Copies of this chain bind each other. A is one copy, B any other.
Protein backbone atom coordinates (compact mmCIF):
# COMPACT_ATOMS: atom_id res chain seq x y z
CA UNK A 1 0.00 0.00 0.00
CA UNK A 2 1.32 3.42 -0.97
CA UNK A 3 0.94 6.43 1.28
CA UNK A 4 2.66 8.37 4.00
CA UNK A 5 4.01 7.36 7.37
CA UNK A 6 3.72 8.97 10.79
CA UNK A 7 5.38 8.13 14.08
CA UNK A 8 4.75 9.42 17.58
CA UNK A 9 6.01 8.93 21.11
CA UNK A 10 3.76 8.69 24.13
CA UNK A 11 3.83 8.08 27.87
CA UNK A 12 6.75 8.48 30.26
CA UNK A 13 10.20 8.93 28.78
CA UNK A 14 12.94 6.28 28.77
CA UNK A 15 16.57 6.20 27.69
CA UNK A 16 15.59 4.12 24.64
CA UNK A 17 12.43 5.67 23.20
CA UNK A 18 14.50 7.85 20.87
CA UNK A 19 16.45 4.81 19.69
CA UNK A 20 13.14 3.22 18.72
CA UNK A 21 12.13 6.42 16.95
CA UNK A 22 15.45 6.27 15.11
CA UNK A 23 14.67 2.67 14.13
CA UNK A 24 11.31 3.70 12.67
CA UNK A 25 13.01 6.53 10.78
CA UNK A 26 15.72 4.17 9.50
CA UNK A 27 13.05 1.70 8.38
CA UNK A 28 10.96 4.47 6.84
CA UNK A 29 13.89 5.91 4.90
CA UNK A 30 14.51 2.46 3.43
CA UNK A 31 10.80 2.07 2.63
CA UNK A 32 10.86 5.45 0.93
CA UNK A 33 13.94 4.52 -1.08
CA UNK A 34 12.11 1.33 -2.10
CA UNK A 35 9.13 3.39 -3.24
CA UNK A 36 6.58 2.19 -0.65
CA UNK A 37 6.05 5.49 1.11
CA UNK A 38 6.50 9.12 0.25
CA UNK A 39 6.60 11.23 3.36
CA UNK A 40 7.89 10.50 6.88
CA UNK A 41 6.05 12.55 9.47
CA UNK A 42 6.58 12.84 13.19
CA UNK A 43 3.82 14.00 15.51
CA UNK A 44 4.84 16.43 18.24
CA UNK A 45 3.53 15.41 21.70
CA UNK A 46 1.94 12.21 20.49
CA UNK A 47 -1.69 11.94 19.49
CA UNK A 48 -2.38 15.19 21.37
CA UNK A 49 -0.07 17.14 19.07
CA UNK A 50 -1.41 15.25 16.06
CA UNK A 51 -4.92 16.44 16.93
CA UNK A 52 -3.50 19.98 16.91
CA UNK A 53 -2.02 19.32 13.45
CA UNK A 54 1.54 19.70 14.74
CA UNK A 55 3.57 17.56 12.39
CA UNK A 56 7.24 17.55 11.56
CA UNK A 57 9.01 16.28 8.45
CA UNK A 58 11.41 13.66 9.80
CA UNK A 59 12.96 12.84 6.45
CA UNK A 60 14.48 16.28 6.12
CA UNK A 61 15.12 16.65 9.88
CA UNK A 62 17.43 13.65 9.52
CA UNK A 63 18.74 14.37 6.05
CA UNK A 64 22.13 13.62 7.59
CA UNK A 65 21.75 10.04 8.80
CA UNK A 66 24.60 10.63 11.29
CA UNK A 67 22.22 12.71 13.41
CA UNK A 68 20.34 9.50 14.15
CA UNK A 69 23.27 8.28 16.28
CA UNK A 70 22.96 11.37 18.45
CA UNK A 71 19.19 10.85 18.64
CA UNK A 72 19.77 7.27 19.78
CA UNK A 73 22.00 8.49 22.63
CA UNK A 74 19.51 11.13 23.76
CA UNK A 75 17.14 10.26 26.61
CA UNK A 76 13.43 11.03 26.76
CA UNK A 77 11.12 11.62 23.81
CA UNK A 78 12.59 14.02 21.25
CA UNK A 79 9.21 14.47 19.54
CA UNK A 80 7.57 15.25 22.86
CA UNK A 81 5.01 13.06 24.55
CA UNK A 82 1.49 13.12 25.93
CA UNK A 83 -0.70 11.15 28.28
CA UNK A 84 -3.92 11.41 26.32
CA UNK A 85 -6.38 8.54 26.66
CA UNK A 86 -8.69 8.09 23.67
CA UNK A 87 -12.39 7.55 24.30
CA UNK A 88 -14.05 4.26 23.36
CA UNK A 89 -14.06 3.99 19.55
CA UNK A 90 -17.67 4.82 18.74
CA UNK A 91 -18.68 5.84 15.23
CA UNK A 92 -19.04 9.61 14.95
CA UNK A 93 -16.94 10.46 18.00
CA UNK A 94 -15.44 13.93 17.47
CA UNK A 95 -11.89 12.97 18.49
CA UNK A 96 -11.76 10.08 16.05
CA UNK A 97 -13.38 12.15 13.31
CA UNK A 98 -10.64 14.75 13.73
CA UNK A 99 -7.88 12.10 13.73
CA UNK A 100 -9.16 10.41 10.57
CA UNK A 101 -9.72 13.73 8.86
CA UNK A 102 -6.01 14.42 9.45
CA UNK A 103 -5.09 10.91 8.32
CA UNK A 104 -6.84 11.68 5.04
CA UNK A 105 -5.36 15.18 4.78
CA UNK A 106 -1.81 13.81 5.01
CA UNK A 107 -2.63 10.49 3.36
CA UNK A 108 -1.33 8.63 6.43
CA UNK A 109 -1.35 4.89 5.75
CA UNK A 110 1.33 3.84 8.22
CA UNK A 111 0.92 4.80 11.86
CA UNK A 112 3.53 3.96 14.53
CA UNK A 113 3.04 4.74 18.17
CA UNK A 114 5.94 4.18 20.57
CA UNK A 115 4.82 3.76 24.14
CA UNK A 116 3.76 1.58 27.04
CA UNK A 117 0.50 -0.05 28.01
CA UNK A 118 -1.57 3.07 27.65
CA UNK A 119 -0.14 3.77 24.21
CA UNK A 120 -0.96 0.25 23.05
CA UNK A 121 -4.52 1.03 24.12
CA UNK A 122 -4.43 3.98 21.68
CA UNK A 123 -3.20 1.75 18.83
CA UNK A 124 -5.88 -0.85 19.56
CA UNK A 125 -8.65 1.77 19.57
CA UNK A 126 -7.44 3.44 16.38
CA UNK A 127 -7.36 0.05 14.65
CA UNK A 128 -10.93 -0.65 15.71
CA UNK A 129 -12.12 2.75 14.55
CA UNK A 130 -10.28 2.41 11.21
CA UNK A 131 -12.32 -0.73 10.54
CA UNK A 132 -15.53 1.04 11.53
CA UNK A 133 -14.94 3.80 9.00
CA UNK A 134 -13.29 1.49 6.49
CA UNK A 135 -10.07 3.54 6.35
CA UNK A 136 -7.14 1.47 5.28
CA UNK A 137 -4.23 2.06 7.64
CA UNK A 138 -1.49 -0.05 9.17
CA UNK A 139 -1.33 0.95 12.85
CA UNK A 140 1.43 -0.64 14.86
CA UNK A 141 2.41 -0.22 18.51
CA UNK A 142 6.10 -0.09 19.24
CA UNK A 143 6.73 -0.97 22.86
CA UNK A 144 8.81 0.99 25.33
CA UNK A 145 8.69 1.14 29.06
CA UNK A 146 11.34 0.95 31.73
CA UNK A 147 8.80 -1.03 33.76
CA UNK A 148 9.08 -4.13 31.52
CA UNK A 149 5.46 -4.87 32.31
CA UNK A 150 4.08 -5.35 28.79
CA UNK A 151 2.66 -8.75 28.00
CA UNK A 152 3.75 -10.95 25.05
CA UNK A 153 7.24 -9.45 24.71
CA UNK A 154 10.25 -11.07 26.41
CA UNK A 155 11.23 -7.62 27.64
CA UNK A 156 10.59 -4.02 26.65
CA UNK A 157 12.94 -1.53 24.99
CA UNK A 158 14.10 0.88 27.68
CA UNK A 159 14.12 -1.70 30.45
CA UNK A 160 17.71 -2.85 29.89
CA UNK A 161 19.14 0.67 30.12
CA UNK A 162 17.17 1.49 33.26
CA UNK A 163 18.23 -1.84 34.76
CA UNK A 164 21.87 -1.09 33.91
CA UNK A 165 21.68 2.31 35.61
CA UNK A 166 20.01 0.77 38.67
CA UNK A 167 22.55 -2.07 38.88
CA UNK A 168 25.43 0.42 38.52
CA UNK A 169 23.95 2.78 41.08
CA UNK A 170 23.33 -0.06 43.55
CA UNK A 171 26.91 -1.21 43.02
CA UNK A 172 28.19 2.28 43.78
CA UNK A 173 25.86 2.65 46.77
CA UNK A 174 27.23 -0.66 48.11
CA UNK A 175 30.74 0.84 47.95
CA UNK A 176 29.54 4.04 49.54
CA UNK A 177 27.66 2.48 52.44
CA UNK A 178 30.44 0.02 53.29
CA UNK A 179 32.80 2.61 54.76
CA UNK A 180 31.53 3.01 58.31
CA UNK A 181 31.42 0.47 61.12
CA UNK A 182 28.25 1.83 62.71
CA UNK A 183 25.16 -0.31 62.03
CA UNK A 184 23.22 1.39 59.29
CA UNK A 185 20.38 0.51 56.96
CA UNK A 186 20.15 2.01 53.47
CA UNK A 187 16.86 1.60 51.63
CA UNK A 188 16.88 2.20 47.89
CA UNK A 189 13.47 2.86 46.39
CA UNK A 190 13.12 1.86 42.75
CA UNK A 191 10.33 2.63 40.28
CA UNK A 192 7.64 0.01 39.65
CA UNK A 193 4.04 0.51 40.54
CA UNK A 194 2.67 -2.95 39.84
CA UNK A 195 5.65 -4.84 38.47
CA UNK A 196 8.92 -5.28 40.32
CA UNK A 197 11.12 -5.83 37.26
CA UNK A 198 13.26 -2.74 37.78
CA UNK A 199 13.79 -3.63 41.41
CA UNK A 200 15.04 -7.11 40.47
CA UNK A 201 17.96 -5.35 38.71
CA UNK A 202 19.31 -4.62 42.20
CA UNK A 203 20.35 -8.29 42.22
CA UNK A 204 22.80 -7.86 39.33
CA UNK A 205 25.77 -6.48 41.32
CA UNK A 206 25.91 -9.86 43.08
CA UNK A 207 27.36 -11.17 39.80
CA UNK A 208 30.41 -9.02 40.57
CA UNK A 209 30.60 -10.09 44.20
CA UNK A 210 28.74 -7.36 46.07
CA UNK A 211 25.05 -7.78 46.66
CA UNK A 212 22.15 -6.13 48.41
CA UNK A 213 20.72 -7.87 51.46
CA UNK A 214 17.09 -7.98 50.39
CA UNK A 215 14.84 -7.19 47.46
CA UNK A 216 11.12 -6.59 47.96
CA UNK A 217 8.77 -6.58 45.00
CA UNK A 218 5.11 -5.55 44.65
CA UNK A 219 4.32 -9.07 43.41
CA UNK A 220 4.59 -10.51 46.94
CA UNK A 221 2.58 -9.19 49.90
CA UNK A 222 4.82 -7.07 52.09
CA UNK A 223 4.84 -7.82 55.81
CA UNK A 224 6.33 -5.19 58.10
CA UNK A 225 7.02 -7.86 60.75
CA UNK A 226 8.96 -10.10 58.34
CA UNK A 227 10.80 -7.04 57.06
CA UNK A 228 11.96 -6.08 60.55
CA UNK A 229 13.04 -9.68 61.18
CA UNK A 230 14.98 -9.66 57.89
CA UNK A 231 16.75 -6.41 58.76
CA UNK A 232 17.66 -7.64 62.24
CA UNK A 233 19.16 -10.82 60.76
CA UNK A 234 21.21 -8.82 58.25
CA UNK A 235 22.45 -6.43 60.95
CA UNK A 236 23.64 -9.46 62.90
CA UNK A 237 25.75 -10.46 59.88
CA UNK A 238 27.32 -7.08 59.02
CA UNK A 239 26.91 -3.41 59.96
CA UNK A 240 25.91 -2.04 56.56
CA UNK A 241 22.60 -3.32 55.28
CA UNK A 242 21.35 -2.33 51.85
CA UNK A 243 17.80 -3.05 50.77
CA UNK A 244 16.14 -2.55 47.39
CA UNK A 245 12.44 -1.93 47.43
CA UNK A 246 9.89 -1.28 44.75
CA UNK A 247 7.77 1.86 45.07
CA UNK A 248 4.72 -0.36 44.68
CA UNK A 249 5.07 -2.73 47.65
CA UNK A 250 1.78 -3.39 49.39
CA UNK A 251 0.49 -5.41 52.29
CA UNK A 252 -1.54 -8.63 52.09
CA UNK A 253 -4.73 -6.60 51.72
CA UNK A 254 -3.31 -4.75 48.74
CA UNK A 255 -2.73 -1.43 50.52
CA UNK A 256 0.38 0.39 49.36
CA UNK A 257 2.99 0.70 52.12
CA UNK A 258 2.99 4.33 51.11
CA UNK A 259 0.61 6.08 48.77
CA UNK A 260 -0.35 9.70 48.33
CA UNK A 261 -3.79 8.72 47.16
CA UNK A 262 -3.81 11.01 44.14
CA UNK A 263 -4.59 9.50 40.77
CA UNK A 264 -3.18 10.27 37.33
CA UNK A 265 -5.17 10.63 34.08
CA UNK A 266 -5.37 6.87 33.65
CA UNK A 267 -6.70 6.33 37.14
CA UNK A 268 -3.43 4.96 38.52
CA UNK A 269 -2.66 5.83 42.12
CA UNK A 270 0.40 8.13 42.24
CA UNK A 271 2.92 6.77 44.70
CA UNK A 272 5.57 8.41 46.78
CA UNK A 273 7.80 7.24 49.49
CA UNK A 274 7.80 3.46 50.07
CA UNK A 275 11.47 4.02 50.96
CA UNK A 276 10.63 6.88 53.30
CA UNK A 277 7.92 4.75 54.92
CA UNK A 278 10.36 1.88 55.56
CA UNK A 279 12.94 4.36 56.82
CA UNK A 280 10.46 5.44 59.46
CA UNK A 281 9.64 1.83 60.35
CA UNK A 282 13.32 0.91 60.82
CA UNK A 283 13.90 4.04 62.90
CA UNK A 284 10.97 3.21 65.16
CA UNK A 285 11.36 -0.57 65.46
CA UNK A 286 15.17 -0.96 65.35
CA UNK A 287 16.47 2.50 66.09
CA UNK A 288 19.73 2.25 64.14
CA UNK A 289 21.02 4.74 61.59
CA UNK A 290 18.78 4.53 58.53
CA UNK A 291 18.53 6.37 55.25
CA UNK A 292 16.36 6.05 52.18
CA UNK A 293 17.33 6.94 48.64
CA UNK A 294 14.84 7.44 45.84
CA UNK A 295 16.52 6.84 42.49
CA UNK A 296 13.62 8.82 41.04
CA UNK A 297 13.41 9.70 37.38
CA UNK A 298 17.18 9.42 36.97
CA UNK A 299 16.61 5.70 36.31
CA UNK A 300 14.50 6.37 33.25
CA UNK A 301 16.70 8.99 31.58
CA UNK A 302 20.30 7.93 32.31
CA UNK A 303 21.38 7.66 28.66
CA UNK A 304 25.00 8.20 29.64
CA UNK A 305 25.13 4.59 30.79
CA UNK A 306 22.60 3.05 28.41
CA UNK A 307 22.76 -0.67 27.70
CA UNK A 308 24.11 -1.26 24.21
CA UNK A 309 21.96 -4.39 23.98
CA UNK A 310 18.88 -2.36 24.85
CA UNK A 311 19.61 0.52 22.47
CA UNK A 312 20.47 -1.84 19.61
CA UNK A 313 17.27 -3.82 20.13
CA UNK A 314 15.27 -0.60 20.47
CA UNK A 315 16.46 0.51 17.04
CA UNK A 316 15.70 -2.97 15.66
CA UNK A 317 12.22 -2.88 17.17
CA UNK A 318 11.51 0.36 15.31
CA UNK A 319 12.90 -1.02 12.06
CA UNK A 320 10.88 -4.22 12.50
CA UNK A 321 7.70 -2.21 12.99
CA UNK A 322 8.08 -0.65 9.54
CA UNK A 323 8.94 -4.02 8.01
CA UNK A 324 5.87 -5.70 9.52
CA UNK A 325 3.63 -2.82 8.43
CA UNK A 326 4.86 -3.04 4.86
CA UNK A 327 3.97 -6.72 4.93
CA UNK A 328 0.40 -5.84 5.92
CA UNK A 329 0.43 -6.10 9.70
CA UNK A 330 -1.93 -3.77 11.56
CA UNK A 331 -3.41 -3.58 15.05
CA UNK A 332 -0.29 -5.27 16.32
CA UNK A 333 2.54 -4.62 18.74
CA UNK A 334 6.15 -5.53 17.97
CA UNK A 335 7.35 -8.12 20.49
CA UNK A 336 10.90 -9.13 21.28
CA UNK A 337 11.23 -12.89 21.52
CA UNK A 338 14.20 -14.70 23.02
CA UNK A 339 15.49 -17.89 21.41
CA UNK A 340 15.73 -20.82 23.79
CA UNK A 341 19.44 -21.10 23.06
CA UNK A 342 22.39 -20.89 25.40
CA UNK A 343 23.66 -17.68 23.87
CA UNK A 344 21.29 -14.77 24.14
CA UNK A 345 19.65 -13.98 20.80
CA UNK A 346 16.34 -12.38 19.89
CA UNK A 347 13.87 -12.12 17.05
CA UNK A 348 10.81 -9.96 16.49
CA UNK A 349 7.11 -10.72 16.09
CA UNK A 350 4.03 -8.59 15.50
CA UNK A 351 1.22 -9.74 17.79
CA UNK A 352 -2.38 -8.63 18.22
CA UNK A 353 -2.26 -5.44 20.28
CA UNK A 354 -5.79 -5.95 21.66
CA UNK A 355 -4.63 -8.99 23.57
CA UNK A 356 -1.64 -7.06 24.96
CA UNK A 357 -3.02 -3.61 25.78
CA UNK A 358 -3.75 -3.07 29.45
CA UNK A 359 -2.45 -6.49 30.48
CA UNK A 360 0.35 -6.37 33.03
CA UNK A 361 3.29 -8.76 33.02
CA UNK A 362 4.41 -9.33 36.59
CA UNK A 363 7.62 -10.86 37.89
CA UNK A 364 6.74 -14.58 37.98
CA UNK A 365 6.76 -16.70 41.10
CA UNK A 366 9.84 -18.65 40.00
CA UNK A 367 11.91 -15.45 39.89
CA UNK A 368 11.33 -14.81 43.61
CA UNK A 369 12.91 -16.74 46.44
CA UNK A 370 10.81 -18.66 48.94
CA UNK A 371 10.99 -15.91 51.59
CA UNK A 372 9.94 -13.32 48.98
CA UNK A 373 12.83 -11.09 49.99
CA UNK A 374 15.14 -11.80 47.09
CA UNK A 375 15.32 -13.18 43.58
CA UNK A 376 16.36 -16.53 42.14
CA UNK A 377 19.16 -17.48 39.78
CA UNK A 378 16.55 -17.88 37.04
CA UNK A 379 15.71 -14.20 37.46
CA UNK A 380 19.38 -13.16 37.26
CA UNK A 381 19.82 -15.36 34.16
CA UNK A 382 16.87 -13.58 32.57
CA UNK A 383 18.20 -10.09 33.43
CA UNK A 384 21.92 -10.50 32.80
CA UNK A 385 22.06 -10.25 28.97
CA UNK A 386 19.79 -7.19 28.90
CA UNK A 387 22.31 -4.85 30.52
CA UNK A 388 25.35 -5.91 28.50
CA UNK A 389 27.42 -3.48 26.50
CA UNK A 390 27.80 0.28 26.67
CA UNK A 391 26.41 2.71 24.12
CA UNK A 392 29.19 5.08 22.98
CA UNK A 393 28.50 8.57 24.32
CA UNK A 394 29.61 11.81 22.68
CA UNK A 395 30.79 14.29 25.28
CA UNK A 396 30.81 18.03 24.69
CA UNK A 397 32.17 20.27 27.45
CA UNK A 398 32.44 17.17 29.60
CA UNK A 399 28.69 16.50 29.41
CA UNK A 400 26.89 14.03 27.10
CA UNK A 401 25.64 15.74 23.98
CA UNK A 402 21.90 15.48 23.28
CA UNK A 403 19.79 15.85 20.18
CA UNK A 404 16.97 18.35 20.00
CA UNK A 405 14.55 19.30 17.22
CA UNK A 406 14.41 22.93 18.28
Give the residue among A175, A389, A395 with the most B Cβ atoms within 10 A.
A175
Known contacts A76-B178, A298-B298, A402-B208; is A304 also within 8 Å of B172 by CB? yes
Residues of chain B within 8 A (CB-CB) of A388 are: 397-398
What does the 1/0 interface line of A288-310 toward B look like (CB < 8 Å)? Answer: 00010111111011111101000
Would you list which residues of chain A between 361 and 406 have a CB under 8 Å from chain B?
384, 387-390, 393, 395-402, 404
The CA-CA distance from A295 to B9 in the complex, in Å, is 27
Chain copies in the assembled complex:
2
Question: How many Å from the CB of A176 to the closest CB on chain B?
Answer: 4
The stretch from A78-86, A103-111, A226-234 touching chain B is A78-86
Residues of chain B within 8 A (CB-CB) of A205 are: 399
Question: How many Å from the CB of A240 to the closest CB on chain B?
Answer: 10
Q: Which residue of B lies closest to A296 (CB)?
A: B293
Q: Which residue of B lies closest to A294 (CB)?
A: B294
Cβ of B175 and Cβ of A76 under 8 Å apart? yes
Does A158 sit at the interface, judged by CB under 8 A? no
Determine which of B49, B298, B307 lies in contact with A169 in the assembled complex, contact meaning CB atoms within 8 Å.
B298
Would you list which residues of chain A between 154 and 191 have a CB under 8 Å from chain B?
164, 167-169, 171-173, 175-176, 178-181
Cβ of A396 and Cβ of B176 under 8 Å apart? no
Cβ of A172 and Cβ of B75 under 8 Å apart? yes
Cβ of B171 and Cβ of A400 under 8 Å apart? yes
Question: How many Å from the CB of A18 to the closest CB on chain B?
Answer: 9
Does A209 sit at the interface, judged by CB under 8 A? yes
Does A210 sit at the interface, judged by CB under 8 A? yes
Would you list which residues of chain A between 252 and 300 have a CB under 8 Å from chain B?
291, 293-298, 300
Q: Which residue of B lies closest to A83 (CB)?
A: B180
Number of interface residues of A (CB under 8 A): 61
Question: How many Å from the CB of A17 to the closest CB on chain B?
Answer: 9
Determine which of B167, B301, B307, B384 lies in contact with A175 in the assembled complex, contact meaning CB atoms within 8 Å.
B301
Cβ of B178 and Cβ of A210 under 8 Å apart? no
Cβ of B178 and Cβ of A398 under 8 Å apart? no
Cβ of B293 and Cβ of A298 under 8 Å apart? yes
Q: Is the interface of A mostly helix, strand, loop or mixed?
A: mixed
Give the residue among A82, A304, A307 with the most B Cβ atoms within 10 A.
A304
Cβ of A173 and Cβ of B204 under 8 Å apart? no
The CA-CA distance from A168 to B398 in the complex, in Å, is 9
Question: How many Å from the CB of A313 to the closest CB on chain B?
Answer: 14
Determine which of B74, B210, B300, B395 lies in contact with A404 in the assembled complex, contact meaning CB atoms within 8 Å.
B210
Cβ of B167 and Cβ of A398 under 8 Å apart? yes
Known contacts A204-B398, A207-B399, A398-B384; is A82 also within 8 Å of B172 by CB? no
Residues of chain B within 8 A (CB-CB) of A13 are: 175-176, 179
Cβ of B298 and Cβ of A399 under 8 Å apart? no
What does the 1/0 interface line of A89-110 toward B look like (CB < 8 Å)? Answer: 0000000000000000000000
Would you list which residues of chain A between 124 and 153 have a CB under 8 Å from chain B?
none
Q: Which residue of B lies closest to A167 (CB)?
A: B399
Does A77 sit at the interface, judged by CB under 8 A? yes
Q: Which residue of B lies closest to A385 (CB)?
A: B398
Residues of chain B within 8 A (CB-CB) of A209 are: 404
Does A45 sit at the interface, judged by CB under 8 A? yes
Cβ of B176 and Cβ of A45 under 8 Å apart? no
Q: Could you pull out 8 A-B pairs where Cβ atoms are within 8 angstroms? A: A48-B181, A74-B175, A75-B175, A81-B180, A83-B180, A169-B298, A171-B402, A209-B404
Give 5 nearest A-B pairs by CB, closest first. Answer: A387-B398, A76-B175, A81-B179, A176-B301, A207-B397
A residues within 8 Å of B by Cβ? 9, 13, 45, 48-49, 74-77, 80-83, 164, 167-169, 171-173, 175-176, 178-181, 204-205, 207-210, 291, 293-298, 300-305, 307, 384, 387-390, 393, 395-402, 404
